[in-house]
Every structure is written in structure tokens, then in C-alpha cells.
Amino acid sequence: MTGVPLHTALGATRDEVPVGADFGVMDHLDDLIEAVGTAVAEKFSRIKLKFRPGWDVLMLQAVRTAFPDDIFHIDCNSGYRLSDVALFQAIDEFQLAMIEQPLQHDDLTDHRELQKLIQTPVCLDESITHPYRAQQAVDLQSCQYVNVKPGRVGGLTNAVKIHDLCQQAGIPCWVGGMLESATGASHCAALAMLDNFTYPADIFPSEKYYREDLSEVPLSL
């Protein structure tokens, strides 16, 4: 198929993508609150916060107190174990959109057990490396969201397969990035226009990562 935009070739019916803002661990909570406030003022669709031991419940409490009505989720990057379930039960009160990859990347069973014990939806990210793994997660009911990173799952073809099988199972998805150039980020944006990518994506201008991008057309938000 030639002469059509990539998102059309992939089967998308939308032509724009909502995106979120992401924040890592900072030296001071005040710095985080200020940065989140800027993102909220700039109308980012949601906020992602890195979450790890020592930068956890007190951080989340401070952010939620400052921004009671905005959409947040946390990303644990496999930093916890099922034995930490009490911690995740304690943060149910913060009404997060999801908890991204709370447990080990290769443990779909423990994610299933965690999801049974908490109210906040579990999202799998590092666990999703191939359509087969996504199907396993769906069959085990290990999560309520899936983050699809084309660079991790084997490209656009596999990413679309994961989108489709999750859509059939009623599990919404969202697109994550992996430090792409403008060309790669544009591919992610085209993918994110598919119907079941319903949560705001992680797509950023390449200038965030590269001093010089060889792409002819820069990607902007």
C-alpha cells in the first residue's frame, strides 16, 4: 500500500494522539510539584510518576494533595514483590489510573494475584515482549492495561497484533516510547491512533534525547 499515511495503512481512524508527561525521582518534592504543575498547566492529558522505595507513598500523597482532580499513574519498573501487597492496597485511596509494572517482568502469575487484591488497575509493560506473552497475560487475567512499545515487541506488525488481541479481550492499551528519533516517534504516533490505544501515550520530541536528529522533519507536540 502506497500513497497513504502510515496510520491509515495500519487501520487507524483517528488523526491525533493525546500524550502525557513523565517525571522521575527528584531531589526534592517541591521540585516535583512545580514540574507537575507546569505539565498540568500545559494541558498534558495525564501524568506518570516513577515510584520506588524511598520515593513512594509520601511522594504520591504530596502530588495528589496538590492536584486532586488530575489523572496520574505510577511506574514501578518491576521494583516490588507480591509480598509488598499492603503498600499497593494503601495507595488505592489515591485513585490512580493504573500501576505500571509493579512486579518482576517475568512473573505473570504474581501480577494476577496482585490484581485480585487491589482496586487500582495493573498495567504490564516490561512483561509484554511478544504477542504470545500478551496473550498469556490476557488468559491469566494478569492486568487491566497493556503498554505496547514497538521497539520491545518486535515492530509495528507485532504491536498491532497485541493491540488487536487486547481489544478482543476488552483490555485497553497505550503506546510507550523507547528513546526514539523523530522517525521512530512518528511510527509510535501512527500506531497510537488505533482505536484500542485509549490511554495517553508516551511520545516525546526527539530533542529530549538527541542533540542532533537526522530526521528531516522534527517531531513536535
Residues with active-site annotation: 50, 149
Residue with cell 542533540: 211
Q: 138, 109 in Cβ contact below 8 A?
A: no
Q: 39, 49 in Cβ contact below 8 A?
A: no
C-alpha torsion 110→104→136→201, nearest 10: 120
Helix (H, G, I), strand (E, B) or coil at 32: helix
**121 DSSP assignment:** P
Q: How far apart (Å, rounded) are the C-alpha atoms in residues 143 and 162?
A: 14
Q: 73, 100 in Cβ contact below 8 A?
A: yes
Give the three cell numbers for residue 208.
529530549
